């Protein structure tokens, strides 16, 4: 009865319980709370168990896991939290549910720009925030983020909410490059160029290009793979075929990149096994699985992107540290509200 009630409570939070119930202490096991979908991480966990004999117990959810670890306190069974976006990683740190880790293996496998200097969070994959341009209406093959505010794109850009974590990070990268005042001016120009009020997810923006509602859409790279390989919704293959991917600022500072990543839970009951899993996820074998399953960019420099990802063109990542981006997220979010970005172009 207790397990049934627990499962009901989790369902109310949008949490998906996978595998055996998680115990606070277990030999040769590790407990993972994951915001990442089962299909994206299960192959990694299966490989880890096969190589080490350590069982991985998982709880999946689209939201609420950090809050759950907070509520569980010292009795939390969580060893690791997997999530996407630098904002969510730093939220876990600020919530006090993380402990720092000094790991020579992690430091070797992950570039400094993709991990916290204090060892509180570590990137595992990267994705670029790019421009999807209509193949039949946009002739140019190069673009910059700055150009998105050019009046020549008036009424031609689609984007999701400015307050979405992906866009907040992008705006923070603009503050890092140009300062707050110039970024505010840029954001006003981008707002004026929108085809409609920001809404939907990244794929919805590409659909807008396909339908002719806009000529440019802002989205993450891996959404191209999600559309190209979507047999359940073949119309999305048409959306993908209608656009070309432009990597902004390829000739200067590079394109803004974000990460998926991992933190070590503050009260991890299986710390040693958890660290082994973290180090495995940053190693070459797991990074190859990430590249093939997720079609994201590996953080480990010894591993190449998948052939599909490489077919999109060369990525030159912006060299600004994501730790710096994290510090600027609050200012970026405030600018979104200040200019009324989500109210749309005519407000």
Q: β-strand 157-158 against 216-220: which pairing, if any?
A: parallel
State pLDDT tens for residues 195-244.
999 999 999 999 999 999 999 999 999 999 999 999 999 999 999 999 99
Strand partners, 194: 157
pLDDT at 16: 47
Is 184's pLDDT higher than 80?
Answer: yes
pLDDT at 346: 86
The highest-level CATH class for domain 128-255+321-343 is alpha beta
Alpha-carbon separation of residue 58 from 9, 27, 32, 175 (angstroms): 16, 16, 5, 37
CATH 1.10.357.10 assigned to domain 2-126+258-310? The reply is no
Mean pLDDT of the chain: 92
Contacts of 9 (CB under 8 A, 6+ apart): none
Q: Sign (positive/negative) of CA torsion 8, 12, 18, 23?
A: negative
246 vs 16, residue with greater confidence? 246
Cβ 142 vs Cβ 307: under 8 Å = no
Whole-angstrom Cα distance, residue 124 to residue 75?
27
Q: Do domains 2-126+258-310 and 128-255+321-343 have the same CATH topology?
A: yes
User: Can you read off the two tokens belonging to residue 73?
Assistant: 């306190």
Q: Hey, where are the domains in the chain?
A: 2-126+258-310, 128-255+321-343
State pLDDT tens for residues 42-99.
999 999 999 999 999 999 998 999 999 999 999 999 999 999 999 999 999 999 999 9
Kindly state the average pLDDT of the residues 134-149: 98
Regarding pTM above 0.85, the answer is: yes
């Amino acid at each position: 009865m207790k397990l049934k009630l627990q499962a009901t409570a989790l369902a109310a939070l949008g949490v998906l319980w996978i595998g055996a119930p998680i115990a606070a202490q277990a030999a040769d096991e590790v407990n993972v709370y994951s915001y990442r979908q089962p299909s994206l991480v299960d192959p990694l966990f299966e490989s880890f168990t096969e190589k080490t004999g350590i069982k991985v117990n998982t709880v999946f959810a689209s939201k609420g896991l950090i809050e759950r670890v907070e509520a569980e306190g010292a009795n939390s069974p969580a060893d690791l939290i997997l999530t996407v976006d630098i904002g969510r990683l730093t939220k876990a740190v600020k919530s006090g549910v993380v402990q720092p880790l000094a790991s020579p293996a992690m430091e070797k496998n992950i570039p400094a720009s993709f991990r916290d200097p204090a060892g509180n969070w570590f990137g595992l994959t990267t994705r670029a925030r790019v421009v999807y341009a209509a193949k039949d209406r946009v002739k140019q093959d190069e673009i910059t983020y700055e150009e998105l505010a050019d009046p020549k794109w008036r009424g031609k850009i689609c984007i999701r909410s400015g307050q979405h974590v992906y866009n907040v990070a992008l705006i923070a990268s603009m503050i890092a490059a140009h300062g707050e005042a110039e970024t505010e001016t840029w954001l006003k120009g981008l707002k004026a160029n929108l085809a409609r009020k920001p809404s939907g997810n990244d794929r919805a923006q590409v659909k807008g290009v396909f339908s002719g509602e806009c000529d440019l859409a802002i989205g993450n790279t891996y959404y191209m793979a999600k559309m190209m390989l979507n047999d359940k919704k073949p119309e999305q293959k048409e959306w993908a075929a209608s656009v070309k991917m432009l990597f902004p600022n390829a000739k200067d500072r590079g394109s803004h990149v974000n990460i998926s990543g991992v933190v070590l839970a503050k009260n991890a009951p299986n710390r040693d096994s958890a660290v082994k899993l973290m180090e495995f996820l940053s190693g070459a074998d797991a990074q190859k699985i990430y590249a093939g399953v997720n079609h994201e960019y590996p953080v480990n420099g010894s591993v190449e992107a998948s052939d599909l990802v490489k077919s999109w063109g060369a990525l030159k990542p912006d060299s600004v540290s994501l730790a710096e981006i994290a510090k600027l997220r609050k200012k970026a979010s405030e600018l979104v509200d200040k200019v009324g970005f989500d109210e749309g172009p005519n407000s």
